[in-house]
A and B are shown apart, each in its own frame.
Chain A
Amino acid sequence: MTEERLKELLGTLADATVEPVRQGLSEDIKSHIPQTLMAHRGGWDTINIIIDLRVSRLAAAAVIILAMLLLANLFGGRDTTGADIYQDSKLLIQYWLSGEEAHKSDVLAAMSELYGHLAGQGREVTYYGDWIDPENGSAVLMHWKLPDDNYRVIFSDLRIRTVSAEDLIMLQARMLQERAE
């Protein structure tokens, strides 16, 4: 038997062993979800407390960004933990804001503050906040250079990506083109 034929058969076996799952299993599992999922230590405890206190989501977002700045100060913005927390914070802010009628400009203001902080650290950072169309989610809001010569890019819809210098040029070119149109 050829290896290809064997792999094909294994694929068929996968299909042939799809067994129906008992109805109610998912509910059984969900009933065991603890009321308080505690994942984070350190700075994250503060964030969880903020959420538990049911303060305004926007206020929580502002505090999270301040916490990010504090962490960046403590670790020089280069530690992985800080980076993880930053990534999570951005996603959470995005999620929360989508759940209420909040003004994006508040977040943009916080981003502007982050720009000031990174620039103060001597990073190669560029901020387009006053220039871009905030309705265009794919517009680059801010980018800064990483030690490995790649660039961290934050888009106006608060997505974050790490891109190469070539990709960044392409993103900027597209932005210019869209603006010209």
Chain B
Amino acid sequence: MATTAPLQTVPAQPAEGKMWRRVLAYWLIVYRQNWRSSAFSSFLTPLLFLGAMGYLLGPLVDSGARGGIPGVEYVAFLAPGILAAQAMMSGVNDSTFTVMAGVKWRKFYLAMLATPLGVRDVLLGHLAFVFVRLVLTSTAFLLIAFALGAISGWGALLALPVAVLTGMAFVTPVFAFSVSQRDGTSFNMLLRIGVMPLFLFSGTFFPTDQLPGWFEPIPWLTPLAHGIELCRDLALGTASVGMATLHLGYIALWLVVGFWLATWAFRRRLVV
């Protein structure tokens, strides 16, 4: 080609990755339409668990032959566990079908990519929205748990960011998984054989030392057990800086590696 000088002054757009707020703005408009229905399911589920397990089953646990959880009322043991586990649940829920919709059903990713936005903006903007949702639902649960007396003390406030980070540590790798699927058939499997067992066996309802010895280390491979333990330590005032750093470090590792994988998978799927 003869010359490469621009034929006019083309107004420059920011670099890819710096326009994610425009994507978040889209998500907030979508959220304005459907927040009622999504709020209902994301607030109600943890409250049902807290009610059924904490307040109805809990007294039986506390008065059982083995005297329940040492040194703490069952509901106070349970509530921070639910906080973290619910963050994982709703985080994963927000990261499967909606991601596939962006590629295949509603195609909003494709619409965005025809504009100045790049893959990184699309990904960061969507992640930012899932983050906002996690903050909202976790805060709501925490406030209700405070009001009910299931959680108390200032340390519990620190459990909020830990729960949100725990959720995000699942969100980023699940984004990578979801965008790589052909359709949505694998998502229910992910919930049933991945998320649900984690929810049950990572220390939400009972200490992991209740698990058979050979099984006990397995939950610690995912960030959930770490998130639950740290939230609980913060709520009950038993946290130490050393253990907190280890837990947070492992959670952050998943988040960062997940983000890297998601960036790679999004690019592979969307830039062809």
Q: Do A and B bind each other?
A: no
A residues whose Cβ falls under 8 Å from a Cβ of B: none
